[in-house]
Copies of this chain bind each other. A is one copy, B any other.
Amino acid sequence: MYQAGYLKHFTEEVFLAIGCPEQEARLAAQVLVSADLRGVDSHGIARLAGYVRLYDHGRLNPNPEIKVVYETPSTAVVDGDRGLGLVVAPKAMEIAMEKAEKVGSGWVSVRNSNHFGIAGYHAMLALEKDMIGWTMTNAAPLVTPTFSLEKLLGTNPVAVAVPALEEPPFVADFASTAVAYGKFEILQRKGLPAPLGWAQDAEGNATTDSNAVKSGGGLLPLGSDREHGSHKGYGLGAIVDIFSGVLSGANFGPWVPPFATAGFMNAQEGVGLGTGHFLGAMRIDGFRPAEEFKKDMDKWIRAFRGAKAVDGQKVLIPGDPEREAEADRLANGIALLEPVVLSLGELAKRFNIPFENNL
């Protein structure tokens, strides 16, 4: 077990070692380890070695000049200068919130970035300002749209954070696919098949092969097949791609560069700059008094949480599972898998940073 503070400190040291300025290394560590705290292990410190590989491949600028390249009072394009998405995204969100402060809402499309950690983190930055936060990002193509044999979209998540009064906030944070790719990696390690509806094989057939995506198949959009609405999941993923990639001048569709994960390292010819994100903030009192709105959000949340549920289950509010994971992991620490601990050990050795193997 590891304490979050320990992992954050280690992560910060690694980012410092590749040349990030102190404040940005701290911010990046904060964002990355928030994923481990919130139970989204696939997006946390497990990816630290991947960011270092990005740096090794010359695709990550540790000391970027992040700048607004164009703006109106409520919109902007930010160029991340190949910086860590973990740093570029919260800075872009700050810009969106400053615009919202002035004119009611702010919308920032980002180019020339890379993986930004968990989408929900950035959306939640809006909460303490009584704003609604929106985040999207595109990602390397793993998803076959309805009827396609080619992988054309990433798992392209959407996160929306909405404050309540007495209740904890509503925080939806989900990929536009049936499942995250990480679920296949777990099954692969265990040698288990996948449920039908998660992936297709190289011929476009339904498959239970948990290696299908690596063998010419693809992840399926949310909805799984045409009869169950996969064209809607495809539409949602497409919207995310257009807002993040086309609107900013980043790469889009099949051209989004891969994150530095083994097996997906073969970069293609680009049509824009790096990976794209889209971040937005709306001031609640740009619509109605924040107190009234938040009282109604409490009512919304209580109606849903209190609804009659199927035996042994309850109706969850988006954000409940992550908040419960965070409470547990703050109290009891974070368990890391052996390959993750080994990858951190290698980073520790390479950069001469102390690291305890607590397996």
User: Which of B149, B252, B284, B286 contacts A307, CB < 8 Å?
Assistant: B149
Q: Is the CB of B271 within 8 A of A296?
A: yes
Distance to closest chain B CB from A43 (angstroms): 16
Please tell me how many copies of the chain the complex holds. Answer: 2
Number of interface residues, chain A, beta carbon within 8 A: 87
Complex interface: chain B residues within 8 A of A195 (CB) = 227-228
Q: Is A46 an interface residue (CB 8 A)?
A: no
Complex interface: chain B residues within 8 A of A253 (CB) = 300, 303-304
Complex interface: chain B residues within 8 A of A222 (CB) = 222-223, 229, 232-233
Given contacts A229-B222, A242-B300, contact A288 B248 (CB under 8 A): yes
Chain B residue at minimum C-beta to C-beta distance from A296: B246
User: Which of B204, B238, B315 contacts A145, CB < 8 Å?
Assistant: B315
Q: Once the chains are docked, how many angstroms separate the CA of A99 from the CA of B104?
A: 11
Chain A binding surface, main DSSP class: mixed
Cβ proximity bits A221-237 to B, threshold 8 Å, 1 near / 0 not: 01110011101111110
Q: Once the chains are docked, how many angstroms separate the CA of A146 from the CA of B232?
A: 18
Q: Is A150 an interface residue (CB 8 A)?
A: yes
Chain A, range 312-350, C-beta contacts under 8 Å to B = 313-316, 318
Q: Is A356 an interface residue (CB 8 A)?
A: no
Distance to closest chain B CB from A11 (angstroms): 29
Q: Is the CB of A174 within 8 A of B235?
A: yes
